[in-house]
Chains A and B, each alone.
Chain A
């Protein structure tokens, strides 16, 4: 059976109600939590990943 795949369809179903994480009095949407976690990962990577330097030239 052939399945037609729409290349423009969203990876996630954006029409469903949002998903929320509850932890005590903290409530945050899954989307916002993912963005915050990605920011933390990028922040740590920005500190740890070496910056390419043009060592062959002066300065």
Chain B
């Protein structure tokens, strides 16, 4: 029986068909979720991107639990205080891992090989994360948050930025913290990961030009490293990848 959802040739000019083709060309399943990574990924420095993502998952998960309980719960209940602490410490680890990831990618010049958008989405998501953390500290509802809010208000007043973003307005800061900024972080981190999958993990300097399509031309992975000659071929357009690592590391 024919698949009723299979695309028809006469529909090829529709925008849905065109968009689907662009998405399928940019992100074939073997690229989106590869089984193997290039051999050079077998280094601890490549692990910090995934550690950052794991921390972000904890931040979001604990944030959702805090939102369910509300401020009176996280201030008075021992479980609430525990989840509140988990939220704080996952943020601390998130920034710790993200900074080490940033240093590693900076010294690798990870924007090489048409990876500018990967780099830029990483930088901007870092900056938005700083804002998200800042509004989080303002939302603590304790003396610490009052101190931070008044100091920040002085600082922002000194820049002449006005009061649209009013750090002493608790409701506004809480809304920024739990809706706008997390949406920005998640959207940009999602785009960042997609770009990593699209362009591949940046190779070391001495293997620049290596093709990063870990799925290979037809989805079949090679299990060996490329020789110098093969590297030259690969940079000339041969999409056979150098995949020799079973590591779970990622960008």
Contacts and interface: CB of A to CB of B under 8 A. Distances in A.
Interface of A: 35, 38-39, 42-43, 45-47, 49, 51, 53-54, 57-59
B219 to A, nearest CB: 16
24 contacts: A39-B96, A42-B96, A43-B45, A43-B100, A45-B44, A46-B44, A46-B45, A46-B47, A47-B43, A47-B44, A47-B45, A47-B104, A49-B44, A51-B43, A51-B44, A51-B247, A51-B249, A53-B247, A54-B246, A57-B246, A58-B223, A59-B36, A59-B223, A59-B244
Nearest to B99: A39
A35 B219 CA distance: 43
Contacts, number: 43
Interface centre among A35, A46, A47, A53 (most CB of B within 10 A): A46
Interface of B: 36, 42-45, 47-48, 96, 99-100, 103-104, 223, 243-247, 249
B96 A43 contact: no
Nearest to B249: A51
Contacts of A53: 42, 245-247
B245 A46 contact: no
Given A47-B44, A53-B246, A53-B247, 15 more contacts: A39-B96, A45-B44, A46-B43, A46-B100, A46-B104, A47-B43, A47-B45, A47-B104, A49-B44, A51-B42, A51-B43, A51-B44, A57-B246, A59-B36, A59-B245
A42 B96 CA distance: 10
Contacts of A58: 223
B240 to A, nearest CB: 15
A5 B47 CA distance: 39
A54 B223 CA distance: 13
Given A51-B42, A51-B249, A43 B104 contact: yes
Contacts of B247: 51, 53
A49 B43 CA distance: 8
Nearest to B244: A59
